[in-house]
Structure 1
Amino acid sequence: MDGNQTKRGSAPAGRYAMPGTEVREVRSKGGRTYRLFVSFPQEEPPASGFPVIYLLDANSVFGTMAEALRVQSRRPEKTGVVPAVIVGIGYPTDQPFSAERHSDFTMPLSESELPVHPRGAAWPEQGGAEAFLAFIEKEVKPAVERDYPIDRDRQTIFGHSLGGLFVLQVLLTRPDMFRTYVAGSPSIHWNKRFIQEEAERLSDRISEGNLQVSVLLAAGEIEKTHKSRIPQHAEALYSVLSAFEGDGVRAEYCEFEGEGHISVLPVLISRALRFCLNPGGPHTPYSPS
């Protein structure tokens, strides 16, 4: 069939636009340009508003999460996934990843502390995590809450790899900023000393207020063979966090069989949706009727 022809009754060929989504570009007060991807439910919002998921590296994973949520939230009584708003924070590029993520997701490190680049090259700029967090807190969140009915008590942040490291940095230093934290294949080795030191201080932060947070740590089984030891570091941190279960921290660790650092993303996203949008407990598996 000619690429310009269509079957009888079908729509003309053209670029696909995912239903219920929009994209906008914003310039932060710090002068950096971001691309925000938003997915919003077509249902009427509950009285408290919709849960919201703030998704890092949106250029690579927004479509996967938005479609997974759109399909699964049709039958929340079966899937355990309720309708929610997704706010993907990405960059003005059509590539899946931008070098700017290195600055946004990391705390300041000296050259001697950085891992060795696998190709011997210099790493991109590092150390802008505080500015990026301020952008989310003071610019992105207020805009989202102005434009959509959001339940501020059900906010999630999702990150993978360096994005997972960023999620953990927020959890350990600002645990009250989100209700749910999802760190997939987190690059703890990038700043292991900082994560360990802040984890030791977590008990003090918990005692300062009535904290109620949920944390999902996850990695792919194949990652165990890499020298970065991502699954091992993530599981060790899970052991630390699970000790605070009686103090308002709900922690879970998942390791996905047969998956690597990138291939883990689709299965992690599906698991994360059930984790953050069904916080009451295990979901009821779907069974065709």
Structure 2
Amino acid sequence: MSAITSQMNGLFDAEYFDIKSQHVDDTFRIFVGKPAAIQPDTSYPTIFALDGNAAFSSLLGTQRMLTQGGEVPASFVIGIGYQGNTLMEAMTNRNRDYAPTEPGENEARALGGLIPAGGPAFLNFIQRELMPLLTERYPVDVSDSTIQGVSLGGLFAAWVLLAQPATFKRYILGSPALWWRDEQVWEWEEEYAARHTDIDATVFVSAGSLEIAEHVRAHAVAIAKETPALREYIESMIAWSDEHGWPEIAKLTPTFARRLSERRYPNLKIHCHNMVDENHMSAPPAMTSRGLRYVHGSWAA
């Protein structure tokens, strides 16, 4: 781990440091947003944001506003990101870390190439390296934690929920890529239910209401027209999806919540709320606000 903690200019009470993971064999950049006034002898909840390079500052700002409004408790916000000089460079390895199982041809096309299934190693990093380090360095209670993941990050969080749910107390699943491996998520769900009788967690799951085939295809066509550098790749994806089917995350999210609800796990609280008139890229800010309020009990669905 780097001994240097760097302050983040323009973000009050925020800093970052780098940690070399033994489980992943890569270096992560960890962003830390602290409560405004840390009280002595107090341990604070933690909110983990995947895609930290892109999502940390937005989630931190939303969390702080909701804390001022009394809807979310004062917390440490932890963004898990990567080193890099640009956002695209920093996010190069997120597909590796968020893939819970080996990708097939459809997944490889969507992600721009074959990747290893790094999800299990990434989960080990969070549990065995990052959480102990945060406990050592900050007054945090990692047993009182929330994870937010969007898209492939949402798939990773859904997989954790169905594999090792006690890792986090609260889950915010934003536009989770539940289409992965022909909706392999239902196999995970059935396997968990066959071996367990409870999930002790509060879960908010959401997508943009426009994340259905008609709108996703139209958006892809528009991007291909407006982005010459990506046109050939996107047009090949359009042709593939026309033949094999388009992902419709807005239809999968309520099914996910309903299936888990029907198990009647005594300590599971789960709700799906799709964001009206939002798409895959525009929905996350709304998901963060509504999700944080739901999992902390200040918004009753």
Specify the TM-score bucket, using the shorter chain as the normaliser.
Answer: 0.7 to 0.9
- Residue 241 in structure 1 maps to residue 260 in structure 2: yes
Extract structure 1 runs of 4+ deviating beyond 6 A. Answer: none
Task: Give yes or no for contact 1:50–1:150 (8 Å, CA) kept in 2.
Answer: yes
More helix by share: 2
Question: Which runs of no fewer than 5 residues in structure 1 stay unpaired?
Answer: 1-14, 284-289
Aligned CA distance change for structure 1 residues 105 and 261 (closer, same or farther; 3 Å): same
Partners in 1 of 2:155 and 2:125 — Cα distance? 17
- Residue 282 in structure 1 maps to residue 283 in structure 2: no
Q: Report how far residue 82 of structure 1 moved.
A: 1.4
Q: Report how far residue 111 of structure 1 moved.
A: 3.9
Task: Give yes or no for contact 1:69–1:273 (8 Å, CA) kept in 2.
Answer: yes
What one-letter code is carried by the residue in structure 1 that aligns with 2:299?
P
Partners in 1 of 2:195 and 2:204 — Cα distance? 19
Q: Report how far residue 114 of structure 1 moved.
A: 2.8
Q: How many residue pairs were aligned?
A: 259
Q: How does 1:1-289 map to 2 (within 5 A)?
A: 16-29=9-22, 30-45=24-39, 49-76=43-70, 80-93=71-84, 94-95=86-87, 98-109=91-102, 111-112=104-105, 114=107, 116-117=109-110, 122-207=112-197, 211-225=199-213, 226=216, 227-276=246-295, 278-279=296-297, 282=299
Partners in 2 of 1:130 and 1:34 — Cα distance? 16
Q: Report how far residue 109 of structure 1 moved.
A: 2.1
Map Cα deviations across residues 3-29 of structure 1 (whole Å, 9 max, x no partner): xxxxxxxxxxxx942001001111111
Q: Report how far residue 181 of structure 1 moved.
A: 1.2
Partners in 1 of 2:186 and 2:92 — Cα distance? 26
> Which stretch of the first structure deviates more once superposed, 152-161 or 181-190?
152-161
Q: Report how far residue 205 of structure 1 moved.
A: 4.4
Could you tell me the percent identity over the aligned residues? 27
RMSD over aligned CA atoms reads: 2.2
Task: Give yes or no for contact 2:48–2:80 (8 Å, CA) kept in 1.
Answer: yes
Task: Give yes or no for contact 1:107–1:126 (8 Å, CA) kept in 2.
Answer: no
